[in-house]
Each structure stands twice: as structure tokens, then as C-alpha cells.
Amino acid sequence: MNRIVFISKKAVELFILFFLILTVLFFLFRLAPGDPVTRMVDPMLTPEDAAHIIEQMGLDKPLITQYVIYVKNFFTGNLGFSFHYGEPVVQVIMARLPCTLLLFTTSTLLAALAGVFLGKISAWKKGSRLDGVLSISALVCHTLFVPWFALMMLWILGFKVGWFPLGGIISPELWIEESSFLVKTLDVLHHMLLPLLTLFIIHVGSYLLLMRSSMLSVLKEDYILTARAKGLTDRVIRNRHAAKNAALPVVTSVGLSLAFSINGGALTEQIFTWPGIGRELIFAVSNNDYPLAQGCFLLIAAVVLSANLIVDLLYAWLDPRIHY
């Protein structure tokens, strides 16, 4: 009962927060200098043309009116029309969202799982050579410079060795020839491997280190000593008693690191020409395409907020000591 009240309270708070973000975004974009037409540096575009375009986009109305229209539309699921694509924002986002989700959820999950597994082993065998190797590798991975690393991966594995395609999500040739579904799926997987590998290497380091230090703290706890005194095997102690508890901060971290992974994600998407949302957002912002920029940003906000909600719930469920 407590839990349900807690969840609903949280949901309402998040909704209010979401709205605040929407409003701040709206005014931020429109108050910044320049508008979508300013960047059209075409000598054939006269000031009258520019004024006409602005009027057609509805940007000549007072800000409050624009805001009201925007909010009204938002509730009907209409996020406006992108100024540069001329398509509904929802359509633009929906076309690109699956790609981003596919890549990021897979890489985050794999990195978290591998990080927990390796961190567990590393902490268990603290001080040994294995621990040293794992720790140093994790450190190196964590401090890699994302765009540089992505380009190096592309260069070495995609070009020098040639096993992987140089970015993109599909091979046009296969799609023009109407290949079978199986071939197309394999093609997408083939293209996904390299960005997945890159993102995996970049993220696994921090999960490993976090799990390791959390595990080390847990291993000093009294209940581990008790378990050992009971005569349980190493594996059981390690997995069922220590790791489960040590994994708590890692769980929190997964939710938090969503924001971090979006940072590296936009750059990775650009370098691997992966048609996703991160790159779209940057593009929209630099071109003053307000509706699209707002739409992308709101989506990211929604995803991160809900991820954090889930993490909170998981945390409460996993740690019985925390009560609300």
C-alpha cells in the first residue's frame, strides 16, 4: 500500500518536472539570438522573403501565444512541424528512435553485465595479477576519449582489417536487391557490431571499477564472515551474498549513466553515421529548428526521468532496509 502511494506520488512529481523542463526549453530557444531564417545565407533570399517565412512559421506572434499553442498541441500528441525537414516532429523522432534505443540499451546492458561480472571477480581476487590487469584495463577504458577512440576503431577494424563496414546501419545494395529478412537482419547486426563494441569498451570500465569498490566494501561486512563461518563455498558467498548487495550502487549508476551515455552517444552516432536521435538534436539546435530540438530534448528528458524512476523502485525493492 505504501509502495503504491509512493509510486503515484513520484509519478506526479515527475510529470510536473517534465512540464517545467518543457517550459524552460521553449523560452530558452526562442530567446536565444537568431531564428531559423538567419542562417539562410543565400543572396537570393530577400528581407521580404525572410519576413514571409517567419510569418508562415508562426514566429511573428507574441511568445505567450506561441507557448499556449505549443502546450495545447503537446497534449494532442502534436509536437509541431520541423522547420527544416518540413515533417511532423513526431515522425522525425519515431524514425530515428528505434536505432538509438537498439544500440544504447544493448551496449549498456552488456557493459553493465560484464562490468558486474568482472568487477566481482576482480574484487574477490584483490591484489592478484588478474585484479591488476582488470583494474588497469578498466581505468584505461574509462578515460578514453570517445571520438578519437571511435575513429581509431573504425580505421583499424573497418578499414585496415576490413571486417566491418565503415558506419551506417545497412548496406544499400542488399536492400535494393530485396534480400530476405534473415539477410537484412544479419546485415543490421553486422553494422551494429562495431559501434556496439566501441560503446561497450567505453562503458564497461566504469561499471567494473564501481562494482569492484562496492564489492570490496561489502566483503568487509560481518555477514560475509558469518557466511564463511557457516562453511559455505566461495562461489556461493561471492554470488549470492556479496555480489547481490554490492550490485546496488551499480544499479543506481546505470540510471545515472544514461545521461553520460547520451553525451558519448551523440558523438559515436555521428562518427558511425548511425541514424539516431543524439545527432539529430545537435543538428536541430545548431540550425535553430526549435520544434525538432524541443522534441528530441523532451524525449531524452522523458527517458532519463523514467529510467530514474525505475532505478528508485529497484533500489527500494532490492534493499529492504530502506523504507518509505
Partner 1 sequence: MRGLILEFIIKYGYHVNMSHNFGFINRFSSSWKIFIQNPLGKAGLSILALFALMAFASFWVHLLGPMYDPMTGVDPAVSHSVGPNTSHWLGTDFIGRDIFCQLMEGAKIAFIVGLASAFISIVIGTVVGMVSGYAGGIVDMLLMRMADMVMVLPSLVILLIIAALFGQLNIWMIVFLIAILRWPAVARVIRSQTLSLKHRPFIEASRVAGASNMRIIFKHIMPNVLPLAFLYMTFRVTSAILVEASLSFLGFGDPGQISWGMMLQWVWSSGHMFQAPYWLLPPGICISLLTLSFYMVGRAMDEVLDPRLRKEGKE
Partner 2 sequence: MTSNTRPSPVDVDVFQYQRRVWIKVIVFSMICLLMMLFLLSCRGETTKGVLKIGLPEEPRTLNVWLASDSNSWKILSQIYQPMYVRDPDTLELIPWLAKDMPVLDRESMSYLVTLKEAKWSDGTDFTAHDVAFTAGVFNDFKVPRYYSKWKAIDKIEVLDDHTLRFFLKKPSAIILSRVFTAPMVSRARWQPVVEAALKTKKPLRTLQNHKVDSPLGTGPFILSKYQKGTFLYMEKNPWFFGTGLTLANRRLGPWVDGVIYRMYGTSDVAILALQKGEIDMYWWGVQPGYVTQLTQTPDIELFHNHKSALYFMGFNLRKPPFDDKILRRAIATLIDKEFIITRLLQNYGVAMHSIVPPGNKFWHNPDVSRYSEGLTHLQRIQKAHDLLKQAGYTWDVPPVDTDGNLQQAQNIRLPSGLPMEKQVILTPPADYDPKRAFAGMMIQEWMREMGIPAFARPMSFSALLDKIKGKHDFDAFVLGYGKLNLDPDYVRTFFYSKNDKPRGWNMSGYNNPAFDKLADAQRLEMDNDKRRVLLLEMQQILLDDLPYIPLYNPDILEATSRKRFNGWVETLEGIGNLWSLCMVKPVTVMEP
| Residues binding partner 2: number (CB under 8 A) | 70
Sign, Cα dihedral of 69, 74, 77, 80 = positive
174 binds partner 2 (CB under 8 A): yes
231 binds partner 2 (CB under 8 A): yes
Which among 107-115, 131-139, 231-239, 311-319 is the span making contact with partner 2, rule CB under 8 A? 231-239
Region for residue 115 given its phi and psi (left: phi exceeds 0; alpha: psi -120 to 50; beta: otherwise) = alpha
Q: 102-132 as b/e, with b when 16 or more CB fall inside 10 Å?
A: bbbeebbebbbeebbebbbbbbbeeeeeebe
User: By CB under 8 A, what part of segment 2-31 binds partner 2?
Assistant: none
Cα 167 to Cα 3, 131, 163, 164, 177, distances in angstroms: 46, 35, 12, 8, 20
Helix (H, G, I), strand (E, B) or coil at 81: strand
State the nearest-atom distance from the C-beta of 180 to partner 1, in Å: 37
Footprint of partner 1 (CB under 8 A): 13-14, 17, 20-21, 28-29, 32-33, 127, 139-140, 142-148, 151, 155, 206, 210, 213, 216-217, 220, 248-249, 252-253, 256, 259-260, 262-264, 266-267, 278, 281-282, 285-286, 293, 300-301, 304-305, 308, 315, 319, 321-322
220 binds partner 2 (CB under 8 A): no
User: Phi, psi at residue 279, to the nearest 5°?
Assistant: -65, -35
Q: Which of 183, 225, 310, 322 binds partner 2 (CB under 8 A)?
A: 183
314 closest CA partner among 249, 241, 221, 243: 249
Beta bridge partners of 88: 81
Give dist(CA 167, CA 161) in Å, integer.
15
Q: Which of 189, 310, 318, 322 binds partner 2 (CB under 8 A)?
A: 189
127 binds partner 2 (CB under 8 A): no
* End-to-end alpha carbon distance in the chain: 11
Where do contacts with partner 2 occur on this chain (CB under 8 A)?
32-35, 38-53, 56-58, 81, 84-87, 95-96, 99, 124, 151, 154-155, 158-159, 162-163, 165-170, 172-177, 183, 186-187, 189-190, 231, 233-236, 269-273, 275, 279, 286, 288
